[in-house]
Amino acid sequence: MKRIVNNWHNISVYIAGAIFVIVALFVTDSLQKVLLLSAAVLFLHFFEEFGWPGGFPYLGMKVMMRSDETDSTKWNCNNLSSMFGNWIAGTLLYILPAFFLNIKFLTLAAILLSVAELIMHLITFNVKERTLYNPGAITAIFGLTPIACYYFLNIYNASLYVWYDYVFAFLWFAVIFWFCYRSPVYWNLGKKEGYPLTDQSAYGFYKPEK
């Protein structure tokens, strides 16, 4: 089990591949394609952040958590908490809506994630770090963003939504984000031993002094 967890970012590539195949062979609905293709790209996104080049945990601690701690063994973040947070978030925000297309706020929440990923990886991280690239930027900008643009240009119809759809979408997104990345469950998983981040996963191209 630990071997699976400690390779969750590598396994994510195979999950992405499986979703791509399923969409190509069996999915005909345009909205379902958007949601499932976004899920597939998100799983590739996990590999870019934690596999190669990796380094998102260090970036996240520095920018999002505002921590100066550079020793990954002292972070409340490991492969178990990372797999838990990312896989559950991806499943609830992208895959679940693909099977409940009639629940409109679920789709809006999924697209909200794509927009959030674009803002974080194109603007926030680059501005904070004064860089042109950060772990996850390629899949966010050239993967999730084009799919979201296709949705807005070809599928989205404002007349199909009412104001509370947007409210529910934001609340659903916020609750999932909290549960997956800020809840006691997430923090407790991050303290468990046996699931350490490798230097590649933790730091990537970054070379902080420990």
pLDDT of residue 18: 99
pLDDT digits (tens, 9 = 90+) for 154-209: 999 999 999 999 999 999 999 999 999 999 999 999 999 999 999 999 999 987 76
pLDDT digits (tens, 9 = 90+) for 15-54: 999 999 999 999 999 999 999 999 999 999 999 999 999 9
Q: How confident is the model at residue 123 (pLDDT cuts 50, 70, 90)?
A: very high
- 140-147 long-range contacts, CB within 8 A, separation 24+: 140/45, 143/41, 143/44, 143/45, 144/38, 144/41, 144/42, 144/45, 144/114, 144/117, 144/118, 145/114, 145/117, 145/118, 147/34, 147/37, 147/38, 147/41, 147/114
pLDDT of residue 210: 59
- What are φ and ψ of residue 86, in 5° steps? -75, -45
Q: How confident is the model at residue 117 (pLDDT cuts 50, 70, 90)?
A: very high
Q: What is the mean pLDDT of the chain?
A: 97
Distance CA 88, CA 182 (A): 13
Distance CA 114, CA 97 (A): 14
Hey, where are the domains in the chain?
2-203
Measured CA distances, 207 to 25, 39, 59, 117, 204 (Å): 43, 31, 11, 24, 8
For residue 7, give the amino acid letter.
Answer: N
pLDDT digits (tens, 9 = 90+) for 49-96: 999 999 999 999 999 999 999 999 999 999 999 999 999 999 999 999
pLDDT digits (tens, 9 = 90+) for 48-61: 999 999 999 999 99
- Assign 3-class secondary structure to 108-151: HHHHHHHHHHHHHHHHHHHHHHCCCCCCCHHHHHHHHHHHHHHH
